[in-house]
C-alpha cells in the first residue's frame, strides 16, 4: 500500500527504506525523446533518438518569464565550478551547431534558448525523475508553461499536438502503478517501455490505444510496471529489462483536452533522498541535481547535432520524403507514418506541400522547425496544424502552404521566424489495415505567394484577415485549455514544480540560473485583456443563448478546472510567503543570538523586500499570478461553452483582426513594440473598420 505524506515531509522518508511514495507527495512531469522516422539517415537518427532517451533533451524559448522572488540568502559559491562546467559545455555545443553545414543565422540565433531548454529537460529527467525513481514526469509542453505563450523550443521534433511524458529511473525490484484516463481530445496513446543506460536506450513493445492497451468503459486504465504481473493485471510492463517509460498523448482536438497520467510506486520502493520534498529542495539536493546534469550536457548535444540532420534538412531544398511507416526506427511506433522535408524560400515565395490523406488515423499533424529540428513558436504563430485545424481537399490530399507572409488561403504554415528549416508530417494511431505498405509520394512546388491560389484545388477556401484572426484566437484559447487540463493533473503538481525552480534559482543565483536554464516564455499579461487573446464576449453570449442547456452543462463540467486555475497561483503565493516568513525569522533570530543588530536589521529589510516581490508577482506575473489564473479560468469556461454549442466564431471582430496583423511578429521579436512606431507597417490596414460599430453588432445578430 502507498503511504500519505505531509507537504513538508521529505519525499520517501516515511517508514522503512522500501516504503512507497505517496501520490500526493509528487506529481511527475514528462520527458520525451526524438521518436520519429528518420529520413535518409535511419541508422544515425536511430542512434540519436535512443541516445536522447539516455540523457533527456529540451529546448527553451528565447523570451524569458518574470523572475522568481530573490532569495534571502546569497548564492552558494561552492556550486560555481559545476555551473561553469555546464556553461562551458553549452558554449562548446553552440560552436558545434554553428559549424554544421546547414546552419543558418536565424536558426543560430535560437541556439542559446534551445541549449538552455536541453538543460531543463536534463534537470527534469536525469535529475528529478531519476532521484525519485521514476515518480516525476518530464512533460512537454511543460507543466510550468504559460497560457497564450509558447513552450520552450526543443530539439527533436516536438509538436504541440503530442503531450510527451517520460518517467525515468525505475527500481527494477519495485512495483509501480501507472493510471490514466483517455481525454476527449485524444486520438492516440502509446506507452513505450525503454531501457536507458550509459550511452544508449532501446524501446519497443508499446501499449497503444485501440490496440493492446486495455481501457475501461469510462476511459480509465491501469498499467502495472514491475518484475511480476499482479493477479488480474490486464496491462503489464515487465521492468526487468527497462528503467523508464515514454508516454505519447496524441491530441486531435486541443479544445477537448488531453489525457491524464499518474505513476506511483506501490511495493518494494527504494528510499528517496529527503532533500527533495513537495515544498522545496535542500542545498545539497540542488548540488546533486547540477552534478547529475553537468556530465550529460556535452554528449547529449552531440547527439542533437547528429539528429538535426534526420528530420528533412538533408533533403534537397523544397522537397519532401515519401510518407512511410515509422516502424523499425528507434523508439518510433509501427502504427505511425511520417514524411520529412526541407524548405528554403526567398522573400515572396511559397512552398505548396501535397500530402496523401490517411483519414482513419487517430491523429495527424504537420509542423515547421528550424534547421536543427527545433520547434518554432506555435501558440501565437501558425507553425503547426493538426487534422482538426486543417482543410482536407476532396481529391484525397491535404495541401499546405509554407511561406513567411499570409497567402490568404487555408492551411498556411507561417515560416516567418526562419528562411530555411525542416517540415515534419506525421500520422499517428493508424489502424493496421490502413498503414502504408509502400511509401506514398509527397509532392512539393515553389510558387509566388501572390499566385498560390492558382495552384490549389478549386475547393480550397480563401481566408480573410478576420477569418485568420478568428482561427488564431481559437488556437490560443484551445491550446490554453489543453495546457490547463494537463497542468492540473501534472506530476509533480504545478505548485511543487514552481517551488523547486524557485529553490534552484535561490541557491544558484538568478544570473547563473538564467544562464543555465533560461526562463519560461511569457506574453505580456495586459495583452490577454485585448480582443486578440480574449474570448469574443458578444459571440460567446450568442453561443450561450443559442443553446443555454449545452452552455450550462459545459460550465458545470469545467467549473472544477476553472477553480483550480485560480487556486494554483493562490497556493503558490501562500507557499512562497510562508517560506519568506520562515527564512526571515530564522535570519533575524540568528543575527540577534550572535549580538549583531545590524545584520538583524539587514535580514529584516531583505525579508520585507522579498515579501513585496512575492506580492507583486502574485498579482502581475504573466504565468504565475492570481490574475493570470483568473484569465485562464475565463478562457477555459469560454472555450468549453463554444465547443459545446457548435464551435468558436468563424470571423473575428475588426480590432482583433488588426491585432493579429502584428502579434506573430511581436512575439517573435521578444515583444519589441518599437516596430509599431513605423508608419509603413500601418499603410495597408483598414483602420476605419475598427471604428465601425456595425461590425461588432454583426457578431451578435448575424
pLDDT tens string 226-255: 999 999 999 999 988 888 999 999 999 999
Separation CA 381–CA 465 (nearest Å): 14
The verdict on residue 571 lying in a domain is: yes
How sure is the predictor about 421, in pLDDT bands with cuts at 50, 70 and 90? very high
CB atoms within 10 A of CB 282: 16
pLDDT at residue number 358: 96
The verdict on residue 342 lying in a domain is: no
The verdict on residue 195 lying in a domain is: no
Please determine, for residue 181, whether its predicted confidence score (pLDDT) is greater than 90.
yes
How sure is the predictor about 604, in pLDDT bands with cuts at 50, 70 and 90? very high
Length of the chain: 702
The verdict on residue 564 lying in a domain is: yes
Q: Is 682 helix (H, G, I), strand (E, B) or coil?
A: helix
| Angle CA 144–53–371, to nearest 5 | 75
What is the average pLDDT across 394-398?
97
List the alpha helices (DSSP H) in 99-158.
105-108, 111-122, 130-131
pLDDT at residue number 327: 60
How sure is the predictor about 71, in pLDDT bands with cuts at 50, 70 and 90? very low
What is the average pLDDT across 568-581?
96
The verdict on residue 311 lying in a domain is: no
What is the average pLDDT across 521-542?
94
What is the average pLDDT across 296-324?
91
Separation CA 184–CA 663 (nearest Å): 30
pLDDT at residue number 504: 97
What is the average pLDDT across 351-374?
96
From the list 153, 70, 107, the residue with the least C-alpha distance to 609 is 70
pLDDT at residue number 674: 76
Please determine, for residue 33, whether its predicted confidence score (pLDDT) is greater than 70.
no
How sure is the predictor about 438, in pLDDT bands with cuts at 50, 70 and 90? very high
Domain with 606, as residue range(s), is 467-491+523-701
How sure is the predictor about 21, in pLDDT bands with cuts at 50, 70 and 90? very low
Please determine, for residue 472, whether its predicted confidence score (pLDDT) is greater than 60.
yes
Computed on alpha carbons and rounded to an integer, the radius of gyration of the chain in Å comes to 25
Please determine, for residue 30, whether its predicted confidence score (pLDDT) is greater than 50.
no
Three cell numbers, residue 526: 495586459
The verdict on residue 223 lying in a domain is: no
- At 325, which helix (H) or strand (E)? strand 324-325
Q: What is the mean pLDDT of the chain?
A: 86
pLDDT at residue number 303: 85
pLDDT at residue number 532: 95
Cβ-in-10-Å burial (0-12, 13-18, 19+) of 100 comes to middle
How sure is the predictor about 24, in pLDDT bands with cuts at 50, 70 and 90? very low
Please determine, for residue 188, whether its predicted confidence score (pLDDT) is greater than 90.
yes
Q: How many CA atoms lie within 13 A of 41 on its CB side?
A: 20
Please determine, for residue 126, whether its predicted confidence score (pLDDT) is greater than 70.
yes
pLDDT at residue number 529: 96
The verdict on residue 681 lying in a domain is: yes
From the list 301, 221, 201, 203, the residue with the least C-alpha distance to 261 is 221
Looking at residue 203, the DSSP 8-state letter turns out to be: E
pLDDT at residue number 503: 96
Q: Which residues pair with 608 in a beta bridge?
A: none
User: Percentage of residues in the chain with pLDDT exceeding 70?
Assistant: 83
- Do the beta carbons of residue 129 and residue 136 sit within 8 Å? yes
- Do the beta carbons of residue 161 and residue 234 sit within 8 Å? no
Separation CA 490–CA 136 (nearest Å): 9
Separation CA 512–CA 426 (nearest Å): 38
pLDDT at residue number 672: 80
Please determine, for residue 329, whether its predicted confidence score (pLDDT) is greater than 90.
no
The verdict on residue 642 lying in a domain is: yes
Number of domains in the chain: 1
pLDDT at residue number 334: 85
Q: What share of the chain is helix, strand, coil (3-state, %, to 5)?
A: 40, 20, 40
Three cell numbers, residue 21: 511514495
How sure is the predictor about 296, in pLDDT bands with cuts at 50, 70 and 90? very high
Amino acid at each position: 500500500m502507498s503511504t500519505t505524506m505531509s507537504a513538508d515531509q521529505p519525499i520517501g522518508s516515511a517508514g522503512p527504506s522500501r516504503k512507497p511514495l505517496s501520490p500526493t507527495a509528487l506529481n511527475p512531469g514528462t520527458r520525451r525523446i526524438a521518436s520519429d522516422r528518420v529520413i535518409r539517415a535511419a541508422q544515425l537518427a536511430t542512434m540519436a533518438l535512443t541516445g536522447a532517451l539516455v540523457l533527456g533533451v529540451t529546448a527553451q524559448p528565447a523570451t524569458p518569464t518574470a523572475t522568481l522572488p530573490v532569495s534571502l540568502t546569497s548564492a552558494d559559491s561552492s556550486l560555481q565550478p559545476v555551473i561553469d562546467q555546464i556553461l562551458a559545455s553549452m558554449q562548446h555545443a553552440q560552436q558545434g551547431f554553428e559549424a554544421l553545414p546547414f546552419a543558418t543565422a536565424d536558426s543560430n540565433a535560437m541556439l542559446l534558448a534551445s541549449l538552455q531548454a536541453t538543460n531543463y529537460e536534463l534537470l527534469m529527467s536525469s535529475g528529478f525523475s531519476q532521484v525519485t525513481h521514476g515518480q516525476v514526469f518530464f512533460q512537454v509542453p511543460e507543466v510550468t508553461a504559460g497560457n497564450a505563450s509558447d513552450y520552450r523550443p526543443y530539439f527533436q521534433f516536438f509538436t504541440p499536438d503530442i503531450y510527451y511524458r517520460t518517467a525515468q529511473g525505475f527500481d527494477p525490484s519495485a512495483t509501480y502503478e501507472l493510471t490514466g484516463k483517455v481525454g476527449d481530445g485524444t486520438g492516440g496513446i502509446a506507452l513505450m517501455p525503454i531501457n536507458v543506460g550509459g550511452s544508449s536506450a532501446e524501446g519497443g513493445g508499446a501499449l497503444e490505444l485501440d490496440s493492446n492497451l486495455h481501457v475501461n468503459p469510462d476511459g480509465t486504465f491501469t498499467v502495472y510496471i514491475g518484475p511480476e504481473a499482479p493477479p488480474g493485471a490486464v496491462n503489464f510492463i515487465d521492468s526487468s529489462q527497462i528503467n523508464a517509460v515514454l508516454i505519447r498523448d496524441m491530441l486531435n482536438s486541443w479544445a477537448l483536452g488531453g489525457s491524464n497520467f499518474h505513476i506511483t510506486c506501490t511495493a518494494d520502493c527504494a528510499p528517496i533522498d529527503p532533500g527533495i520534498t513537495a515544498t522545496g529542495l535542500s542545498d545539497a539536493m540542488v548540488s546533486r541535481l547540477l552534478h547529475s546534469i553537468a556530465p550529460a550536457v556535452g554528449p547529449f548535444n552531440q547527439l542533437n547535432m547528429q539528429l538535426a540532420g534526420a528530420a528533412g534538412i538533408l533533403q534537397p531544398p523544397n522537397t519532401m520524403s515519401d510518407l512511410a511507416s515509422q516502424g523499425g526506427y528507434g523508439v518510433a511506433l509501427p502504427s505511425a507514418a511520417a514524411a520529412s522535408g526541407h524548405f528554403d524560400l526567398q522573400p515572396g515565395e511559397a512552398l505548396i506541400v501535397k500530402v496523401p490523406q490517411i483519414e482513419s488515423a487517430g491523429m495527424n499533424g504537420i509542423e515547421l522547425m528550424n534547421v536543427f529540428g527545433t520547434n518554432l513558436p506555435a501558440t501565437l504563430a501558425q507553425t503547426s496544424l493538426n487534422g482538426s485545424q486543417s482543410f482536407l481537399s476532396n481529391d484525397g490530399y491535404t495541401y499546405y502552404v509554407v511561406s513567411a507572409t499570409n497567402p490568404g488561403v487555408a492551411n498556411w504554415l507561417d515560416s516567418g521566424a526562419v528562411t530555411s528549416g525542416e517540415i515534419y508530417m506525421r500520422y499517428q494511431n493508424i489502424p493496421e489495415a490502413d498503414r502504408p505498405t509502400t511509401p506514398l509520394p509527397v509532392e512539393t512546388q515553389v510558387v509566388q505567394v501572390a499566385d498560390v491560389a492558382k495552384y490549389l484545388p478549386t475547393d480550397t477556401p480563401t481566408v480573410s484577415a478576420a477569418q485568420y484572426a478568428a482561427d488564431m484566437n481559437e488556437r490560443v484559447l484551445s491550446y490554453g485549455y489543453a495546457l490547463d487540463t494537463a497542468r492540473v493533473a501534472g506530476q509533480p503538481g504545478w505548485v511543487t514544480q514552481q517551488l523547486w525552480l524557485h529553490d534552484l534559482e535561490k541557491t544558484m543565483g538568478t544570473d547563473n540560473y538564467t544562464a543555465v536554464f533560461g526562463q519560461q516564455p511569457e506574453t505580456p499579461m495586459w495583452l490577454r485583456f485585448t480582443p486578440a487573446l480574449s474570448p469574443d464576449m458578444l459571440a460567446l453570449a450568442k453561443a450561450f443563448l443559442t443553446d443555454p442547456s449545452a452552455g450550462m452543462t459545459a460550465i458545470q463540467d469545467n467549473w472544477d478546472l476553472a477553480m483550480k486555475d485560480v487556486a494554483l497561483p493562490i497556493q503558490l503565493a501562500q507557499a512562497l510567503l510562508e517560506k519568506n516568513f520562515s527564512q526571515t525569522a530564522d535570519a533575524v533570530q540568528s543575527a540577534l543570538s550572535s549580538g549583531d543588530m545590524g545584520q538583524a536589521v539587514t535580514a529584516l529589510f531583505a525579508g520585507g523586500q522579498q515579501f513585496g516581490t512575492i506580492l507583486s508577482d502574485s498579482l502581475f506575473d504573466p504565468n504565475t499570478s492570481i490574475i493570470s489564473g483568473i484569465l485562464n479560468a475565463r478562457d477555459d469556461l469560454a472555450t468549453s461553452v463554444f465547443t459545446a454549442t457548435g464551435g468558436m466564431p468563424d470571423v473575428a471582430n475588426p480590432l482583433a483582426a488588426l491585432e493579429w496583423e502584428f502579434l506573430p511578429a511581436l512575439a517573435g521579436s521578444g515583444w519589441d513594440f518599437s516596430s509599431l512606431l513605423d508608419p509603413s507597417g500601418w499603410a495597408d490596414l483598414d483602420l476605419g473598420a475598427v471604428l465601425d460599430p456595425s461590425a461588432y453588432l454583426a457578431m451578435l445578430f448575424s
